[in-house]
Amino acid sequence: MLDILFYVFSAITLIAAVLMVLTPNAVNGAMCMIVAFIGTAALFVLLEAYFLAVIQVVVYAGAVMVLFLFIIMLLDVDKGEGATEYKDKLTIGAAAIGFLLLAMLVCSAFSGSHLPEPVLTAVTENPEVFNGGVPFTTSSKSFGYSLFTKYMLPFQVAGFLLLAAMIGVIVVSKKHDVAED
């Protein structure tokens, strides 16, 4: 049953990703991207990585895609004269690169030279090893402890970068009326 669900969610994710790249409308492309993000979250659920699945839906499918949709809908981007010609050449180039990468992936998957299995180490319950903190596990408590202690500065910097991006979107999307003298 899990194999069937894996193939279904993989197909949904891949089809949505291909449609995202091929659709000419930016809003439809963003909607396909949301479907691809949700399909990826479903694959995380099948891997029993529930925390990553929730973060995938909340952060990417929720916050980031809403920001993308606001940018797409607020900016009235006019296409230039040679925009379609340039887009066609870029699409053909990107498709060729993607096909080559896919061929390399298939060849490496069937060549038998796979990466070695990682060695799993047991989680110790000795708090002295972790300087009095919570030992690293796959629980959300461990992620939260690491996020708000060791990685607090990068977390705050990312928040300020998102704030700056939001302010930039508001400034760029604001229409200025030019007064004629």
* pLDDT reading at 96 higher than 60: yes
Among the three residues 48, 74, 100, which one is the final residue of a domain in this structure?
74
Q: pLDDT band for 81, please (50, 70, 90 cuts).
A: low
Task: Give domain status of residue 151, yes or no.
Answer: yes
Q: What is the pLDDT of residues 49-80, one digit of tens each?
A: 888 888 888 888 787 777 777 777 776 655 55
CA distance 165 to 171: 10
**Residue percentage of the chain with pLDDT more than 70:** 72
Query: And the tokens for 54?
Result: 């929730």
pLDDT mean over 162-178: 73
Task: Let me know if residue 114 belongs to a domain.
Answer: no
67 and 130 part of one domain? no
In a domain, 84, yes or no: no
Residue type, 4: I
Q: What are phi and psi of 135, to 5 degrees?
A: -65, 150
- Summarize pLDDT for 127-150 with one digit per residue, the tens: 445 545 555 566 677 777 777 787
The domain boundary, picked from 45, 74, 103, lies at: 74
Asked if 3 and 62 sit in the same domain, the reply is yes
Distance, in Å, from the CA atom of 94 to the CA atom of 75, rounded to the nearest integer, reads: 25
| The pLDDT of residue 127 | 47
Where is the domain boundary, 16, 48, 74?
74
Domains in the chain: how many in total? 2
Question: Would residue 66 count as lying in a domain?
Answer: yes
Residue 159: inside a domain: yes
Q: What is the pLDDT of residue 84?
A: 65
- Where residue 59 sits, what CATH number does that domain have? 1.20.120.1200
Per the model's pLDDT, the better-predicted residue between 144 and 180 turns out to be 144
Q: Which domain holds residue 62?
A: 1-74
pLDDT of the residue at 150: 79
Q: Which of 29, 36, 34 is nearest to 91 (CA)?
A: 29
Cα-Cα-Cα-Cα dihedral sign, residues 87, 89, 92, 95: negative
In a domain, 95, yes or no: no
pLDDT of residue 32 exceeding 80, the answer is yes
Q: Is the pLDDT score of 11 beyond 90?
A: yes
